[in-house]
């Protein structure tokens, strides 16, 4: 977990001018937008729960069938 001081220091030294004018509701909306963007970026690196074990097994079986067909075609040639 990043320490609060480190985040504040980073923000104040690098981004203060850009976001100084945001106060109140516009600031909250900007924070929500930035957090949503971060979560979207992080989701690329997380495990996809919507892929079931059955889907993976079917994929392997299909790949095996294709490899077997290719092998038999090469042997006939």
Tens of pLDDT, residues 35-56: 899 888 888 777 666 778 888 8
What is the per-residue pLDDT for 1? Answer: 56
- Flag whether pLDDT at 63 surpasses 60: yes
pLDDT tier at 7, thresholds 50, 70, 90: confident
* DSSP state at residue 66: H
- Flag whether pLDDT at 2 surpasses 60: yes
Per the prediction, the chain carries an average pLDDT of: 82
DSSP assignment of 2-67 equals: --HHHHHHHIIIIIHHHHTT--SHHHHHHHHHHHHHHHHHHHTTS--TTS-HHHHHHHHHHHHHHH
Structural domain boundaries in the chain: 1-46, 49-77
């Amino acid at each position: 977990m990043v320490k609060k001081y480190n985040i504040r220091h980073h923000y104040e030294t690098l981004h203060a001018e850009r976001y100084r004018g945001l106060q109140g509701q516009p600031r909250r909306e900007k924070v929500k937008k930035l957090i949503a963007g971060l979560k979207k970026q992080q989701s690329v690196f997380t495990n996809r729960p919507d892929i079931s074990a059955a889907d993976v097994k079917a994929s392997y079986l299909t790949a095996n069938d294709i490899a077997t067909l290719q092998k038999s075609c090469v042997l006939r040639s």
